[in-house]
Amino acid sequence: MLELMKRDGLARICELTTAHGKLETPVLLPVINPRNITIPPRELYESFRFRGLITNSYIIRNDEALRTKALSRGVHELLDFPGTIMTDSGTFQSHMYGEVEVSNSEIVAFQRDIGTDIGTVLDIFTEPDWSRGRTSEAVDVTLERTREATALKGKMMLAGVVQGSVYPDLREGCARSMADMAVDVHPIGGVVPLMETYRFADLVDIIIASKKGLNPSRPVHLFGAGHPMVFALAILLGCDMFDSASYAKFARDDRLMFENGTHHLADLKGLNCECPACRMHTLESLKELPDQERMQTLARHNLHVSKREIERAKSALLEGTLWELVEMRCRAHPALLDGLRRLKEHKQFLERYEPLSREGSFFYTGPESLDRPCVFRYERRHFERYEKPPQKILVGFQEGQKPYGRAYGPEIARISKSADAHFLVMSPFGPVPIELDELYPIAQSLFPRLNDRETLERTNELMERFAHLQEYGISVIYDGERTEEVLAALSDGPSTFDVDLARVKAVCDYQFGGGAGNMLMNGQVSLVKSKTTGKIRNVLVDGAHVLSMRAGDGFFSLRPEGAGRLLQGMPSPKLRVIVNPDSVEFNRQGKNVFSNFVIDCDPQLVPMDEVMVVDENDALVAIGRMILVRDELVAFKKGLAVKVREGVASQPLARTT
């Protein structure tokens, strides 16, 4: 059973409950070779605090002593590990040596009988060089065996492996078929040869294809991914579990893993590592250790670095800086950069899970930053939802003229505060109408002054598309050299109320959908502004408090009065989460909505969206922020769905107007 605790896009921190305790994901399971143990499992548990490991049931089964002990005392006692044990089935051995002498039913039953927490189907390892036809047939066999295994698994959790070689449609099809079976964990298999040859762009395609097909309430395990270089990227794409034999294999070759690559001990010119294994050593003392001790020390180093990298990615997720971390990590090797650049092809899928806003600022790290889904979100919503106001249009250029921190500076903001002229700022996000300039990620972004060619061309292309779409006649070009001219072209009237109203409308349309502004602002609008910043805080219509603007991300929080207007104006299930009767009273008291109480919701809602919680009769029950998207809401049997900010007593406003 998986419960989502925190998320950022596809990336997530979850709790996986197993028969031997809980795992907080993303998690790395060290691989233990039961015939050749590098680091004792007890040390992994107690000193490293690993709560899970993976071992190989095929090896145990083929060794008489191990088999006998595993069957009589269980695999946990065999390995002396009290945490979660996952076992592989022999599939990797079939990849390495061509064949294995065991049937699927035998090895699944064996895993169950030795008390494995998570046992794995004997899937067919689909090699990257296989034809489509051969791959498709192999996937069918894997699906068949998975079905067979579900009947045998007993109380053991079952890992059903997504296969399909490098064919994304076969991967997605395989994943989708398994989503309907009684499977608990989904390894993505057959990817080791791709990682060994640094084919990270293909890896990205495969992970995303698998995620598209899978049931989002089950953990995804990237089988054989054990290098800290790839963890951040894989976590960004929603991988929850990793396993690593590399820590030991690399150590045997005198190689040290780091989050930026691998270094052979002989090539290092300094040991700049403070991990518990290295801190007692200088580079020289490490080199002089006896073979076995050096190998173990390097293996411990590799595990520490790997574990720390997962912890760092988790922290970045929580701090809202995971994209920045991934973009930084992918500079470590040009092949990883190819993987990063491949994300561009998947931005529509990624945008489905992209939160409305996040806490961290948007830091540009290179042209790739503009392919993040939050940029695509802005581009799409701006083109789809924004309506051109009646005023004259002026265009300003951000590039090179203003200090860091804002897409443009106070000067442009000042000259735009006129009802006669409407200001459009050229930014790396494309054209930004002045009404949207406080929205995430526009105002929360940092770019270099000097942009790369890709960014400049992108800006120009977006401007052309926008001008064409909106049938704009551009009146004045502001290029940083002609401030006075622009200022003279503007009547700098003192009244900015019309501009403020245009902002409220534009943000409403952007956030809630086209037409939302008119619904919410129908009547006599008045604004409460912050005395310190002069920014809009509250929107009142006919004296009732309808919306509050958030200083952090520039979006609105809905008030019950506003929710009533949207309920009336927008057909169900738009902007709604519909809860079952058992939940209604709790939510009216301001308690959160849990996924098992949800009947349905608007499929367009994204994480962190403002959402109206309603009962089956469309009566308003509460207002809150969305945690899950619809697919997840349907799939998760446990956990938070909507973080309620305000419960609404019965006889809600929507019914009384």
* Minimal distance, residue 436 CB to a copy of itself, in Å: 21
- Smallest CA-to-CA distance from 208 within 345, 324, 328 is with 345
State the pairing for strand pair 476-478/392-397: parallel
Q: Side chain identity at 525, as an amino acid letter?
A: V
- Smallest CA-to-CA distance from 372 within 401, 357, 350 is with 350
Judge whether 631 counts as a catalytic residue. no
User: In this complex, which beta carbon is closest to a copy of itself, that of residue 334 or of residue 523?
Assistant: 334
- The reply to whether 315 sits near a copy of itself by the rule CB under 8 A is yes
Q: Side chain identity at 586, as an amino acid letter?
A: F
- Segment 589-592 long-range contacts (CB within 8 Å, at least 24 positions apart): 589/647, 590/622, 590/644, 590/645, 590/646, 590/647, 591/644, 591/647, 592/624, 592/640, 592/641, 592/642, 592/643, 592/644
Q: Which of 88, 240, 509, 609 is catalytic?
A: 88
User: In this complex, which beta carbon is closest to a copy of itself, that of residue 181 or of residue 337?
Assistant: 337
CB atoms within 10 A of CB 196: 10
- The reply to whether 284 sits near a copy of itself by the rule CB under 8 A is no
Among 198, 349, 376, 472, binds a copy of itself (CB under 8 A): 198
Measured over all CA atoms, what is the biggest interatomic distance in the chain, rounded to whole angstroms? 91
Site mask for a copy of itself (CB under 8 A), range 404-423, x = bound: x-------------------
User: In this complex, which beta carbon is closest to a copy of itself, that of residue 405 or of residue 523?
Assistant: 405
Please list every residue from 333 through 362 that binds a copy of itself, using CB under 8 A: 333-335, 337-338, 341-342
- The reply to whether 281 sits near a copy of itself by the rule CB under 8 A is no
Residue bearing tokens 């930053």:
369
Among 193, 367, 409, 514, binds a copy of itself (CB under 8 A): 367
- Asked whether the beta carbons of 409 and 402 are under 8 A apart, the reply is yes
User: In this complex, which beta carbon is closest to a copy of itself, that of residue 342 or of residue 465?
Assistant: 342
- Cα Rg of the chain (Å, integer): 28
Residue bearing tokens 């203003």:
402
Residue 419: C-alpha distances to residues 259, 359, 413, 495, 510 (Å) = 53, 32, 13, 7, 21
Per CB under 8 A, which region of 194-202, 348-356, 459-467, 636-644 contacts a copy of itself? Answer: 194-202
Residue 289: C-alpha distances to residues 39, 279, 285, 302 (Å) = 17, 14, 6, 17
Please list every residue from 429 through 468 that binds a copy of itself, using CB under 8 A: 446-450, 452-454, 457
Among 176, 331, 465, 638, binds a copy of itself (CB under 8 A): 331
Please list every residue from 502 through 521 that binds a copy of itself, using CB under 8 A: none
Q: How far is 306 from 11, CA to CA, in rounded Å?
A: 18
Residue bearing tokens 């919680």:
613
Among 45, 364, 397, 510, binds a copy of itself (CB under 8 A): 364
Among 366, 480, 514, 590, binds a copy of itself (CB under 8 A): 366
- The reply to whether 473 sits near a copy of itself by the rule CB under 8 A is no
- Asked whether the beta carbons of 257 and 227 are under 8 A apart, the reply is yes
* Minimal distance, residue 241 CB to a copy of itself, in Å: 19
- The reply to whether 264 sits near a copy of itself by the rule CB under 8 A is no
* Minimal distance, residue 447 CB to a copy of itself, in Å: 5
- The reply to whether 280 sits near a copy of itself by the rule CB under 8 A is no
- The reply to whether 635 sits near a copy of itself by the rule CB under 8 A is no
Query: What are the structure tokens assigned to 433, written together?
Result: 């109408």
- Asked whether the beta carbons of 597 and 576 are under 8 A apart, the reply is no
- The reply to whether 262 sits near a copy of itself by the rule CB under 8 A is no
DSSP classification of residue 13: E
- The reply to whether 552 sits near a copy of itself by the rule CB under 8 A is no
User: In this complex, which beta carbon is closest to a copy of itself, that of residue 290 or of residue 403?
Assistant: 403
- Smallest CA-to-CA distance from 299 within 631, 485, 61, 38 is with 38
- Asked whether the beta carbons of 14 and 216 are under 8 A apart, the reply is no
User: In this complex, which beta carbon is closest to a copy of itself, that of residue 340 or of residue 641?
Assistant: 340
**Contact set with a copy of itself (CB under 8 A):** 197-198, 201, 260, 267-270, 272, 274-276, 279, 304, 308, 311-312, 314-315, 318-319, 327-328, 331-335, 337-338, 341-342, 363-367, 403-404, 446-450, 452-454, 457
* Active-site residue list: 88
